[in-house]
Amino acid sequence: MLGNGFQAPFVVLGNNEKGQEPFQTAMTHAYDYLNSLGHAVQLQTITPLDDIPTIISAFKAQDPPIKSIYVCSDPYLTVNSKLLNDEAHDTTHGSPYIDTMFEIKEHVDEHGGNAWFGSNFLELFEKAAYYAHEIMTHTATPDKLPNYISSLSGGGAAHTRKKGSKKKAKNKKKLRRRNNGFPRNTSLQSALPPPGGPWTFPAVNFCTWPRALPRFRQYRV
C-alpha cells in the first residue's frame, strides 16, 4: 500500500462492530502498522445499517481530507464495493479523490478499486471445489485433506493526479515557397518568351535548377 503511492491521512474501514472477527484483528493490525510509521490513521466501523455515500462524504469533509482507505471486506462491503469506489473517486465540484485498497484482486478488476494485496480469491474457490469433490466422491475424507493456505499477490497503484500544464506550442517550420525552383521574387511566367521572341532564363541556382527544369518543359509544348 505504502509502496504503491497511497498517502496519509488513512482510514481503515470495516465491520468490526462489537469486536467482530476476523475484521477486528485485521483492522487493528493495519491501524497499528500505519500508526507505528507515524502516519495519520483512524479506524472506522461500517455496518449494513450505514450509508456508504454519507460515510465517504464525511471523510472528504475532514480537515485535512482523507486520502486513502484500506478496506477490510465483508459480504456487505463486497456487494457494495463498486458504490464505495465510485463515491471515493468522485471529484465532482472539486471533491477530493480518495484512493481505495482491498485484499482481493476482483475489487480492483471488477469494481474499480485502486490496488489490492491478499489471498488469491479464485484459487481459494477452486481448491474448495476440489476438496468438496474429493469428499463427495469418497476419494478422501475431511481429516485427510491438508489445510490449504492460498498464495498472496498484489497489484495496482494509487491514482495519479495529473497537474494541469500549458502545452508549449511547437514552432512549426513554415514551408518556404520555392517559387517553382527560381530565385525569390522571380516567377516562372517571367521566363516565358514574348510572342515570337527568344527564350530567356533568369539566373537559377544549381541546387534549384533540377527542380525547375521539369516545370520549364511543361511550357515548351
Q: What is the pLDDT of residue 195?
A: 59
Grid coordinates given for 158: 494509487
Q: What is the pLDDT of residue 196?
A: 59
Contact 206, 182 (CB under 8 A): no
Please give the model's pTM, rounded to 2 decimal places: 0.66
Q: What is the pLDDT of residue 105?
A: 87
Q: Which residues pair with 12 in a beta bridge?
A: 43, 70
133-164 per-residue burial string, b: 16 or more CB within 10 A, e: under 16? eeeeeeeeeeeeeeeeeeeeeeebebbeeeee
CA distance 100 to 112: 9
Q: What is the pLDDT of residue 162?
A: 59
Task: Name residues whose C-beta falls within 8 Å of residue 209's C-beta, 6 or more positions apart in sequence.
Answer: 181
Domain boundaries, the chain: 2-119+151-156, 179-217
Angle between helices 52-61 and 81-89 (to 10 degrees): 30
Angle at 55 between CA 49 and CA 58, to 5 degrees: 150
Q: Along the 221 residues of the chain, how does pLDDT read in single tens digits?
A: 787 789 999 999 999 999 999 999 999 999 999 999 999 999 999 999 999 999 999 999 999 999 999 999 999 999 999 999 999 999 998 999 999 999 988 889 889 999 989 888 888 889 999 999 999 999 999 999 999 888 888 888 898 865 544 444 444 455 455 555 545 554 445 545 555 555 554 444 444 444 444 444 444 44
Single-letter amino acid code for the residue at 125: F
Q: Which CATH superfamily is domain 2-119+151-156 in?
A: Response regulator (3.40.50.2300)
CA distances from 177 to 39, 56, 185, 211 (A): 64, 62, 10, 13
Q: What is the largest CA-CA distance in the chain?
A: 115
